[in-house]
Structure 1
Amino acid sequence: MNEIDPFKLFLELQLALPRNAPGSARATREAFSLLPALPPRPEIADLGCGQGAEAFELLRLANGRITAVDLFEPFLEKLAERAEREGVPETRLRVLRGDMNDLPFHDGEFDLIWSEGAIYLLGFEEGLRLWRRFLKPGGFAVLSELTWLTDAPSPEAAVFWEDAYPGMGSVASNGEAAARAGYRLIGRIVLPTEEWWQDYYMPMRAKLAGMRRTYGELPVFDEMEREICLFERHADEYGYVFYALRRD
């Protein structure tokens, strides 16, 4: 029997979810409300957009153009299919396959950079440094980032995230990192616990059950379930935080 590629399993799982990170349309709107007034037709980049759930909410919130960027073509195909169904023109939504570490944009191209649950792939401070030049002077970045909410996490949570995301910071350390990267913090919001469940962990658990029936018991499925169980026990210790930042 051929070995099953864990990355293909990851893609299959993620493509079945309503969102590709914890969040909601409500959370996107609340984070957007932290911003001062944008230009009448802002240029916005949604980096690590996945299937674009937040991109479509941003289209409703801002009368500008969204450039939605992700590395994985299957996500972008689903995003483009939705745009076609909903009649969104390319003048409002541009879909681009690209690496967040090597973006093909001009300096000062955007009024706002948005990214939900994706900057961890670069590291919070490094991602902010890399993306800063693409913002106009005084432009904004809004990002959700997995963050410690306690200075004394339980051993179980600490061991898990030391392996899964060793660079995870606290609210305070992320604020300091943003300042070092050339930004001023203008607001932040902690994502409510329930918004991990409705569009992310609950459908993930259901999809995992189906994948176990299809592929059998695999270690990758156990690891995904372990993450969900950890959050059930320690949701008060870590979470996603939206940081609204202004380029100095």
Structure 2
Amino acid sequence: MSDLDPFKVFLELQLGLPRNGPGSRASTEAAFAMLPALPEKPEIADLGCGQGASAFELIRLTDGRVTAVDLFEPFLDRLKARAEKEGVSEARLLPVRGDMEALSFDNESFDLIWSEGAIYLLGFEHGLKSWRRFVKPGGFVAVSECTWLTATPSQAARDFWDAAYPAMGTIASNCEAIARAGYELIGTHVLPPEDWWAEYYTPMRQRIAEMRETYGEAAEEVLANEEAEIALFESNPGQYSYVFYVMRRTD
């Protein structure tokens, strides 16, 4: 077990969770409710969809089609299995294996691009700029992004995020980036603490304990790092969270 691939450990941990990042049905609904109007059957892209938690919510909230994009086949396999179980056809949910930074869609393909907890992989402003051409004129983008909620975080929080995501911004700086990227901000929604716990950190703690039993020291580095992230959030309440940014493409 000593040569266990750390990424495989991380992936197995994530596959055991109901969500692959902070979020909830209520927060997805709150962000969606900010959209002023969509076509009757909108074309939607869910980028970095993971196992599809937000994709299935978007299907429930609209009569459109969701193109669910993720780079990792095991996530898409779970999404496809759920779609089959729930009787959701590809006319409503189209899984696509793809890189968010090298999308192959036609320009102006989507009425709405949605992405929960994934745009950081590209960088907030760069991601918005690179995705803009896929949005129809006057169309919408909604993303959740880890964001500082205070100008004076603890040193522990600052050190952790400087290492993990040094480009993490504030709501104000992200709103400026939205304007530079060619969008008009419609609104923001800060994910409450329970969105980190209920379907993410609490089941993750249980999953970590189970994986320690299975893999022992071979998985310890990955599992300890995840525990450290949980402990940091627990000990630094209100200093950072994911924030939904809902915006319209300007032309």
Scaled by the length of structure 1, the TM-score of the pair is 0.99
Q: 2:247 aligns with which of 241, 245, 248?
A: 245
User: Runs of 5+ in structure 2 lacking a partner?
Assistant: none
Q: 1:234 aligns with which of 233, 236, 242?
A: 236
Shift of 1:2: 4.1
| Counterpart-to-counterpart distance in 1, 2:226 and 2:60 | 33
| Counterpart-to-counterpart distance in 1, 2:237 and 2:161 | 13
| Counterpart-to-counterpart distance in 2, 1:18 and 1:74 | 14
**Correspondence list, 1:133-212, <5 A:** 133-212=133-212
Partner SS state of residue 216, structure 1: helix
Cα distance per residue 1:205-248 (max 9 Å; x no partner): 00001111111132221111000000001121000000001000
Partner SS state of residue 89, structure 1: coil
Counterpart of 1:24 in structure 2 is: 24
Letter in 2 for 1:133: R
Partner SS state of residue 144, structure 1: strand
Letter in 1 for 2:199: D
- Is 1:97 the equivalent of 2:101? no
| Counterpart-to-counterpart distance in 2, 1:58 and 1:84 | 17
User: Runs of 5+ in structure 1 lacking a partner?
Assistant: none
Percent identity between the two aligned chains: 65
Structure 1's consecutive aligned runs of 4 or more residues displaced over 3 angstroms after TM superposition are: none
The RMSD of aligned alpha carbons is 0.7
Counterpart of 2:53 in structure 1 is: 53
**Correspondence list, 1:72-91, <5 A:** 72-91=72-91
- Is 1:65 the equivalent of 2:65? yes
| Counterpart-to-counterpart distance in 2, 1:224 and 1:90 | 35
Cα distance per residue 1:123-174 (max 9 Å; x no partner): 0000000000000001000000000000111100000000001110000000
Letter in 2 for 1:79: L
